Structure 1
Amino acid sequence: MTSLVIASDMDGTLLNNQRQIPQGFWPVLKQLHSLGAVFAPASGRQLYTLLEQFEPAGFPMSVIAENGTVVYHEGEIVSLCTIEASQAHAVIEAVESQADHIDWGLVLCRADGAFVTRRDEPFLAQCQPYYARMDIVDDLHAYVDDQVVKLAVYSFGDAESIAAPALEAAAPELNVVVSGAHWVDIMNPAANKGKALEALAQALGVAMEDTIAFGDYLNDTELLQSAGMAFAMENAHPQIKAIADALAPSNADEGVVEVLRGVVEKLGA
């Protein structure tokens, strides 16, 4: 029986400054699993990327992927929140039409994989850590279907001041979320990491008061607001620190691992 659900953002939260899962995390994860707690990465990353990253766990993982649009548990997708095809086409057109004066690129994210048209190495190098299953294609419009969960835009300029305002104007009916210094995610307004945590907890029969969340950036807002106990990282955005119940040490100091060691002690007591 599941006693507790723990959700953690990845970049700037669980991952260290080398974008790696700390080695000290794996024994703690196995202890949590043996005590009936479920740990789920909650990330803007693709489902397949997260499953690959957590293969060392050695047991089936629960995953909140694509900023909450995909919730995965025990080998199947338990929640999927998509974008209408017409909305996806409109965003693609907006990004392509402004590419001459905004240095950015678009990732079309479907439940079964990701697609890009921009082929230069600097752009692809930013995408590859997040999208294990990604194809370079000639026309993104041809890959729009009823499984589009997110449109991710990488801006070589500042996401919050340059890319986000332009995308908000292009997609007024969608949720435009700044998910990093250079990344903006565009999703169905019904989707966020908080609602995804609620869907996962419901699937596991766990009350929201028995959930813990960790985050550092603006796309973690709803995740921390929905969790029973919310930790912001020491390196978090000021707005995230303001809504948290407590602070964890920075990602560079393996703050998530440190807090989870305390959780293991309490569960095992």
Structure 2
Amino acid sequence: MIKAIAVDMDGTFLKSTNDYSRERFEKIYQELQEKDIKFIVASGNQYAQLSSFFPNQSEITFVSENGALIFEKNQLLKKATFDSITVHSVLRFLLQLDVSIGIVLCGAKQAYMLEKQPEAFQQFANRYYYALAEVASFDNLPEDEFVKIALQVPEREAKSLVDQLNQHFSKDITAVVSGHDSVDLLIPSVNKGQALLYLLKRWQISASQLLAFGDSNNDLEMLKLAEFSYAMANGSEEVLQTARYVAPSNDDEGVLTVIETWLAKMSGIT
């Protein structure tokens, strides 16, 4: 019996139009509440951005910044942060690379980017970070606690950059490809899977009662945890190999289709 559902957003729950079928989901959400099934948004994105997609569903739990920040009923429940020495070291390393990299420093309060960035990167940052400030330099860090560093890189460079960062900062960060041209630098041992494990223990729910959906490599731990794990048809090779099942693509609203199938099964409708 399913007791909790966790969904990634970009490439999974959201269509390429950066939206979802709201009327269809509202019907599903009402049934989930009636059946006391938890709905969890588990994303690498910022809480301010994620919550804006669900203005009328206050019971949704948000695992944001790839598990560093967990919000339940709009209240911060759990937080994991980098130490400032690591943040300084990583930023200095990134800024001296001979590769065009856009950097968003993600804090618990808001996100930060350098001033006068290319327009394409500004659009990227504004799409994913609703609480975003520009700073003149990363030499003096803002007064905040830092939970993630998000990068936009040329797609052809993403995998090699991840390998380089994981080798150079093996004990301090975990670098993962989070999209075709996106790389996330995470706190080691902090990921969606660990965040979900914390929530399941809090709610006294077993991983055998968890349904999860993902498409990118920052979803791997979450998919390994869930008994009923679904890779989106548009997912990465690693995700398709890890998940137990495959859902239709995000543009075919695969998440909603699979959830409806499960709800019908639980209601005895064939």
TM-score, length basis structure 1: 0.92
Letter in 2 for 1:42: A
2:23 corresponds to 1:26 = no
2:64 corresponds to 1:65 = yes
Give the aligned CA root-mean-square deviation in angstroms. Answer: 1.9
Aligned-pair CA distance for 1:263: 2.2
Q: Which residue of 134, 137, 140 corresponds with 2:138?
A: 140
Aligned-pair CA distance for 1:146: 6.6
Q: Distance in 2 between matches of 1:176 and 1:144?
A: 23
Aligned-pair CA distance for 1:206: 1.4
Residue matched to 1:35: 35
Q: Distance in 2 between matches of 1:157 and 1:220?
A: 19
Q: Distance in 2 between matches of 1:121 and 1:162?
A: 25
Contact 2:109 2:144 in 1 (8 A): no
Residue matched to 2:125: 127
Residue matched to 1:113: 110
Letter in 1 for 2:137: D
Contact 2:108 2:144 in 1 (8 A): no
Residue matched to 2:198: 199
Q: Which residue of 127, 150, 155 corresponds with 1:152?
A: 150
Q: Distance in 1 between matches of 2:267 and 2:199?
A: 23
Letter in 2 for 1:150: K
Contact 2:230 2:243 in 1 (8 A): yes
Contact 1:41 1:62 in 2 (8 A): yes
Q: Distance in 1 between matches of 2:27 and 2:156?
A: 38
Q: Distance in 2 between matches of 1:171 and 1:191?
A: 15
Contact 1:85 1:144 in 2 (8 A): no
Contact 1:71 1:199 in 2 (8 A): no
Residue matched to 2:94: 95
TM-score, length basis structure 2: 0.92
Aligned residues: 265
Letter in 1 for 2:219: D
Letter in 2 for 1:234: A
Give a deviation string over 1:206-245, Cα, whole Å, max 9, x none: 1221111101111111010011210111111121111111
Residue matched to 1:55: 55
User: Which 4+ residue blocks in structure 1 deviate beyond 4 angstroms?
Assistant: none
Residue matched to 2:255: 256
For structure 1, list consecutive stretches of 5 or more residues without a partner in the other structure: none
Q: Distance in 2 between matches of 1:143 and 1:53?
A: 30
Q: Distance in 1 between matches of 2:114 and 2:105?
A: 9
| Deviation larger for 17-26 or 236-245 | 17-26
SS of the counterpart of 1:158?
helix
Q: Distance in 2 between matches of 1:12 and 1:229?
A: 19
Letter in 2 for 1:231: Y
Letter in 2 for 1:140: F
Letter in 2 for 1:29: Y
Aligned-pair CA distance for 1:142: 2.7
